[in-house]
Amino acid sequence: MSATYRTLYLLASFAAASAVFAVSPVGVESTTRASTAVRQTAQTAQTAQDKPAIDLSKLELYLDKAQHGSAVIRPQAAARLVPMGGPAAERLFELCGADPAAMAEMGASLVEVLGAFDDPRLRERLWQGIADPDFPWRPAAARSLAQNLLQRAPTSDAGSDQLAAAQADEARRFRALLEDPIAPVRVAAVQALEKRFPEPDMGLRAAARARLADTSDFVRRAAAVALVGWGEPEALLWLVEDLRRSDTFFERWSGKNAAYESRRALQALLGDTFGYDPEVPPSDATNVAALAQLDAAVRARIGERAVPVLPNVARASGPEPDAVLGLELISCRRGEHYIAWTSDDQLLVGIGNPARVELPEGTTARLLGFAKEQVAQLDRPYFGLPGCDVEMLRIVSEPGARAQSWVVSKNQARIEGLRPEALGAVLRELIASLPEGLGASDPRLANLRDAAREAMIAIGGR
């Protein structure tokens, strides 16, 4: 559009200059000057278009908005820095400081765009952040690297061998992140490896298949998409299974959310989801018909290949009507834990199809009674600031009632006295009640008590 306007402008200027010549007695010399002026205008415009000058005040404005703007403006402002190229990269490198603690101050939105500059120094800063378990923006750093794979050699005089060596080094680091304790980091690692290796070796295939039993449905989904792209259509079964989910974790739409995500993936991979609608239950007649067609389409893709058995963690389940007490711990440094207690003394761990542990009789009633007493002392349901560290206590006071929630949250910075004592007492009691020595049968149960305690301390202290 702008080219059209520029042409119009030049034509109008040329017409004006011609008009000057036509009516002027000055003669040929003036004509030449006028034509030269028009040419110079065009050349100047062209040069300006080729190398737009960086408006430093804009650069600083975007940096400020990306750090201190509202939650919706921060990512937009950060994205506007990328077309500014070198000058923006220099300022960001300055802001990164010398260690991940300094880089943490930049905020997640700026960290997330660092990889887009293809600057080896910024990439190294991102890797340093990922290597530090206390760096709060590890998911943003991993996504930044994964979405912008290394294209440029570490130094300007490096040859193609050195670029290949640097790419191989990054691939090795991404492989290690497949086992990371934070699920969004594992998702980024899977997606980076999928993009980096159109034809993976057997080891990488095996590592991706192992992620089909990941405790996070986001990681399982990313692994399934990668494996289908690598010629293993049986991984489509994991995506179709998500469409059968109707689970919730108290007020959380876990099953419906998974259905939306997997429907989008299936649409891209199969080209059709046959009218499946995540807004209505999988048992609805429309969805039953859609699922039958999806099953047939996937079986046709699988053909003669072996049909795998889905692990328990990936199997669809429904809501847990007997869950009366719940604890969600979402730490940007120590991972996520979803734990529920049912009225018939079962401990449920995880989202979707949870791991189940029988508890001594009366455990839930005791914990629920204590929790009700404590929360009665609280004057409000929310404490803290919005951010990536969140604790939620859920209580269903009467059978059939909706859960009430008490929430503590904060951003990367520690806040003294964030969690009220009454809430702290409930959390400590709940975590202390978690059985030890579990985990042989399900990774969600491994070191559950210690892992939950670590997450609790990372969010709101002891």
Partner 1 sequence: MPPVALLPALLLILLLASAWSPARLGRAAMELHARLPGIHEVEKPRPKPKPGDQVDATISLLQLRDAPYRRGQPLAQWILDLEGKYVAIEGYMALGTLEGLSEFEFVPEECECGGSKVNHLVMVSLTDSTTRFRAGRFYMRGIFSAGELEEDDFVTSVYRLRSRAMPD
- Taking the complex as a whole, the smallest distance from the CB of residue 345 to partner 1 amounts, in Å, to 25
Estimate to the nearest angstrom the gap between the alpha carbon of 214 and the chain centroid: 16
CB of 361 to partner 1, least distance (A): 30
C-beta of 69 vs 282, nearer to partner 1: 69
Alpha-carbon dihedral of residues 376, 380, 383, 388, nearest 10 degrees? 100
Q: Which is nearer to partner 1, 22 or 202 (CB)?
A: 22
Q: Burial, 213: exposed, middle or buried (Cβ in 10 Å; 0-12, 13-18, 19+)?
A: middle
Burial (CB count within 10 angstroms: exposed 0-12, middle 13-18, buried 19+), residue 83: exposed
Asked whether the beta carbons of 115 and 147 are under 8 A apart, the reply is: yes
**Interacting span for partner 1 (CB under 8 A) from 147-155, 166-174, 337-345, 399-407:** 399-407
Q: Does residue number 120 form part of the binding site for partner 1 (CB under 8 A)?
A: no
- Residue 257 Cβ, how far from partner 1 at the closest point, in Å? 7
Which tokens hold the place of 366?
Answer: 């005791």
Asked if 371 is part of the footprint of partner 1 (rule: CB under 8 A), the reply reads no
Determine which residue in the list 30, 31, 65, 301 makes contact with partner 1, applying CB under 8 A.
65
Of the candidate residues 93, 218, 260, 370, the single one contacting partner 1 (CB under 8 A) = 260
Q: Between 96 and 390, whose beta carbon lies closer to partner 1?
A: 390
Q: How far is the CB of 140 from partner 1 (least distance, A)?
A: 7
Residue among 212, 213, 232 at smallest CA distance from 223: 212
CB of 135 to partner 1, least distance (A): 13
Q: Should residue 385 be labelled a site residue for partner 1 when binding is judged by CB under 8 A?
A: yes
Measured between alpha carbons, how far is 256 from 246 in angstroms, rounded to an integer? 6
The conformation of residue 114, written as its DSSP 8-state character, comes to G
Neighbours of 134 (CB within 10 A): 14
Paired sense of beta strands 323-331 and 382-384, if any: unpaired
Q: Which is nearer to partner 1, 30 or 405 (by Cβ)?
A: 405
Residue 53 interacts with partner 1 (CB under 8 A): yes or no = no
Interacting residue with partner 1 among 15, 164, 268, 413 (CB under 8 A): 15
24 binds partner 1 (CB under 8 A): yes
Of the pair 16, 164, the CB lying nearest partner 1 is at 16
For tokens 């603690």, what's the residue? 101
428 binds partner 1, rule: CB under 8 A: no
Residue 30 contacts partner 1 per CB under 8 A: no
52 binds partner 1 (CB under 8 A): no
Tokens of 90: 């220099």
Please report whether residue 57 would count as binding partner 1 according to CB under 8 A. no
The number of residues that bind partner 1 (CB under 8 A) is 59
Q: How far is the CB of 281 from partner 1 (least distance, A)?
A: 13
DSSP-derived secondary structure for 268-286: HHHS--TT--TTS-TTSHH
Among 248, 141, 134, CA closest to 184? 141
Is residue 318 exposed (0-12), middle (13-18) or buried (19+ Cβ within 10 Å)? middle
Which listed range, 14-22, 32-40, 82-90, 438-446, lies at the site for partner 1 (CB under 8 A)?
14-22
Dihedral sign for Cα atoms in the order 437, 443, 444, 449: positive
Q: Which of 103, 109, 276, 340 binds partner 1 (CB under 8 A)?
A: 109
Exactly one of 35, 38, 54, 75 binds partner 1 (CB under 8 A); that residue is: 75
Site for partner 1 in 274-313 (CB under 8 A): 278-279
Nearest distance from residue 402's CB to partner 1, in Å?
A: 7
Measured distance CA(56)–CA(427) in Å, rounded: 49
Q: Which residues pair with 356 in a beta bridge?
A: 348
62 phi and psi angles, rounded to 5 deg: -65, -40
Of the candidate residues 124, 169, 179, 251, the single one contacting partner 1 (CB under 8 A): 251
One DSSP character per residue, 227-281 reads HHHTT-GGGHHHHHHHTT----BTTB-HHHHHHHHHHHHHHHHHS--TT--TTS-
CB atoms within 10 A of CB 222: 25
Radius of gyration of the chain (CA): 29
**Residue 40 sits in the site that holds partner 1 (CB under 8 A):** no
Candidates 295, 382, 450, 457; binder of partner 1 (CB under 8 A) is: 382
Q: Which of 200, 384, 424, 460 binds partner 1 (CB under 8 A)?
A: 384
Query: What residues numbered 131-170 form the site for partner 1, per CB under 8 A?
Result: 137, 139-140
Tokens of 209: 């298949």
- Residue from 407, 422, 425, 446 that binds partner 1 (CB under 8 A)? 407
Decide if residue 392 touches partner 1 (CB under 8 A).
Answer: yes
Q: Is 215 in the site for partner 1 (CB under 8 A)?
A: no
Instruction: State the residues that interact with partner 1 by CB under 8 A.
Output: 1-2, 5-6, 8-9, 12-13, 15-16, 19-20, 23-25, 65, 69-77, 108-109, 137, 139-140, 250-253, 256-257, 260, 264, 278-279, 330, 332, 380-382, 384-388, 390, 392, 402-407, 409
